[in-house]
């Protein structure tokens, strides 16, 4: 019988209220204790620790609470878990995470999922508002997440669209530290940036964790290492007035530099002679101009297994004047003053052509030429071609994220991988290129030993390195190493 009909029936109204209280009584009774609520409120405000039976409030590194027996009925929890496992899950993967998620658990039939929604949205929300003394809205985001082997949710702060309190209800089998999947909490620096994991909360059957969403609430779900267990949870956010946030901190950019004066003998010493053949360079340039990316296998003719001993020499190669010229020959980009600019030649031809035209067509062409002249002026105002680079070591757990604050501009990306023979895509560690504000992947560059990857990136293209998961450990161990390396350079016209 629908809830509205029961409420309008005077003969059964009293009974339905009892039934309602019976449903809500599935919550741990300790939460109704006024002394417990007062102690938790005081502890939250003072940022101290408070423990009472199955409730633990620990405000370091930021206010959070763990209730180890949230629902009193074990049969209810088991039925809830069974229903959640029957949901349709969608694989979610980007720079920040990899796991499976259900659709938002909206209005459903009278089942255990609808009941837990009613409990969380109703009584628990009211209780939480009183404890935190925050006016939480009646609408709540909630979904079901399933993490399996190598799934992960990397460091983030949950700040979005008025979220005030985050919560997670765990429905997991017996869980151990060796299984991974902990909820890791981070410390922060003076810029409210995450520094390191200072506390890890182990998922536990029928336990609920909640914390305040704030400028310092950085946390992550550590990679699930177990191949047998499933980390199932209900999670979401209560909405309310957001806490004040400081201005976004932007790291200072790494200084760029022009080429290092070195003669072409450096190229003959390091680079595979195939790529020094002008005819082969023309073929590479044609392919690059068609697709804006290319991968040059066996690029170096030196042994890079002893990386530390020749890092400086390889760095000088990639920064040298002769290498700038080689890149110009391979890509057609103007990375050296000796290289011609095809755009300028085309613009000059276009201008002389339109000078012989008259009438309305001449007006339109002149406008086009004005835009072209402006573009040419901008190029000339840029100054000499520059580059910035770094040598990176990659091992299990490493990754990069997309950053909205990064200046978007045209650039030639270079990656030269070493020590990653036999690398597989399922290990992660690949470079993913996506369009700004879109999830669709444009290009993937996989680590390939002694292979030079060149990608021309425009202003609307972003990139990240996918999290390297535990599956990579066996491959690296077979090579008696825990990591591989790459040179990552960006060249600017």
At 293-347, the pLDDT tens digits run 999 999 999 876 655 668 888 999 999 999 999 999 999 999 998 876 555 544 4
Residue 265 shares a structural domain with residue 391: yes
What integer pLDDT is reported at residue 43 of this predicted model?
85
What integer pLDDT is reported at residue 427 of this predicted model?
97
Residue 488 shares a structural domain with residue 419: yes
Closest residue by Cα to residue 409 from 443, 442, 440, 386: 386
What integer pLDDT is reported at residue 306 of this predicted model?
56
Residue 198 shares a structural domain with residue 270: no
Residue 376 lies in a domain: no
Closest residue by Cα to residue 315 from 390, 254, 393: 390
Residue 232 shares a structural domain with residue 283: no
Domain encompassing residue 294? 257-337+383-492
What Rg do the C-alpha atoms of the chain give, in angstroms?
30
Residue 44 shares a structural domain with residue 120: yes
Domain termination residue (choose one: 239, 269, 287): 239
Total domains in the fold of the chain = 2
H or E element at residue 112: helix 112-119
Q: Any idea what the CATH number is for the domain that residue 307 is in?
A: 2.60.120.620
The Cα–Cα gap between 35 and 39 comes to: 6
At 69-121, the pLDDT tens digits run 999 899 999 999 999 999 999 999 999 999 999 976 766 565 899 889 889 98
Contact 31, 67 (CB under 8 A): yes
The Cα–Cα gap between 5 and 53 comes to: 40
At 294-305, the pLDDT tens digits run 999 999 998 766
What integer pLDDT is reported at residue 354 of this predicted model?
37
Residue 168 shares a structural domain with residue 267: no
Show the 3-state SS of 270-324: HECHHHHCHHHHHHHHHHHHHHCEEEECCCECCCCCCHHHHHHHHHHHHHEHHHH
What integer pLDDT is reported at residue 242 of this predicted model?
86
What integer pLDDT is reported at residue 368 of this predicted model?
37
Closest residue by Cα to residue 206 from 80, 82, 71, 83: 71
Closest residue by Cα to residue 310 from 388, 418, 421, 429: 418
Residue 233 shares a structural domain with residue 325: no
Residue 234 shares a structural domain with residue 268: no
Residue 289 lies in a domain: yes
What integer pLDDT is reported at residue 285 of this predicted model?
97
Residue 74 shares a structural domain with residue 211: yes
Residue 331 shares a structural domain with residue 474: yes
DSSP 123: I
Beta carbons within 10 angstroms of residue 64's beta carbon: 23
Residue 351 lies in a domain: no
The Cα–Cα gap between 332 and 349 comes to: 19
Residues near 360 by beta carbon (within 8 Å), at least 6 away in sequence: none
Residue 434 lies in a domain: yes
What integer pLDDT is reported at residue 439 of this predicted model?
77
Residue 183 shares a structural domain with residue 296: no
Residue 35 shares a structural domain with residue 77: yes
What residue ranges of the chain have pLDDT lower than 70?
A: 1-25, 104, 106-110, 304-309, 340-382
Q: What is the largest CA-CA distance in the chain?
A: 98
């Amino acid at each position: 019988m629908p809830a509205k009909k029961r409420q309008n029936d005077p003969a059964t109204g009293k009974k339905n209220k009892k039934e309602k209280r019976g449903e809500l009584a599935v919550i741990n009774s300790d939460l109704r204790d006024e002394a417990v609520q007062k102690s938790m409120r005081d502890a939250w405000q003072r940022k101290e620790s408070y423990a009472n039976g199955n409730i633990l409030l620990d405000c370091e590194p930021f206010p959070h609470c763990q209730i180890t027996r949230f629902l009193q009925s074990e049969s209810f929890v088991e039925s809830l878990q069974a229903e959640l496992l029957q949901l349709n899950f969608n694989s979610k993967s980007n720079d920040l995470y990899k796991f499976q998620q259900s659709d938002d658990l909206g209005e459903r039939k009278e089942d255990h999922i609808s009941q837990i929604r009613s409990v969380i949205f109703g009584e628990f929300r009211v209780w939480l508002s009183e404890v935190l003394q925050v006016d939480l809205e009646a609408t709540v985001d909630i979904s079901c997440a399933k993490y399996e082997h190598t799934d992960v949710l990397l460091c983030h702060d949950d700040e979005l669209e008025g979220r005030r309190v985050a919560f997670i209800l765990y429905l997991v089998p017996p869980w151990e530290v060796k299984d991974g999947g902990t909820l890791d909490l981070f410390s922060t620096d003076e810029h409210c940036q995450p520094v390191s994991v200072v506390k890890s909360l182990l998922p536990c059957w029928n336990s609920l964790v909640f914390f305040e969403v704030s400028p310092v609430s950085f946390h992550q779900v550590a990679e699930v290492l177990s191949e047998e267990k499933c980390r199932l949870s209900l999670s979401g956010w209560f909405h309310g007035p957001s806490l004040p946030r400081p201005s976004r901190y932007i790291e200072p950019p790494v200084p760029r530099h022009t080429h290092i004066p070195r003669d072409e003998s450096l190229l003959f010493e390091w680079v595979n002679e195939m790529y020094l053949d002008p005819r082969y360079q023309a073929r590479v340039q044609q392919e690059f101009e068609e697709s804006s990316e290319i991968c040059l296998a066996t690029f170096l003719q030196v042994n890079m297994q002893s990386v530390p001993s020749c890092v400086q020499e390889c760095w000088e190669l990639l920064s040298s004047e002769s290498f700038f010229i080689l890149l110009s020959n391979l890509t057609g980009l103007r990375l050296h003053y000796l290289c011609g600019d095809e755009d300028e030649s085309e613009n000059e031809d276009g201008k002389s052509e339109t000078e012989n035209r008259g009438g309305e067509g001449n007006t339109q062409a002149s406008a086009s030429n004005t835009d072209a002249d402006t573009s040419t002026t901008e190029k000339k105002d840029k100054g000499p071609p520059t580059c910035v680079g770094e040598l990176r070591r990659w091992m299990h757990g490493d990754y990069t994220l997309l950053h909205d604050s990064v200046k978007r501009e045209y650039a030639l990306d270079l990656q030269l991988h070493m020590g990653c023979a036999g690398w597989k895509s399922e290990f992660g560690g690949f470079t993913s290129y996506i369009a700004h504000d879109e999830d669709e992947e444009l290009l993937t560059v996989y680590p390939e030993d002694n292979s030079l990857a060149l990608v021309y990136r425009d202003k609307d293209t972003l990139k990240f390195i996918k999290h390297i998961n535990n599956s990579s450990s066996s491959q690296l161990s077979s090579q008696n190493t825990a990591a591989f390396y790459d040179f990552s350079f960006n060249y600017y016209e």
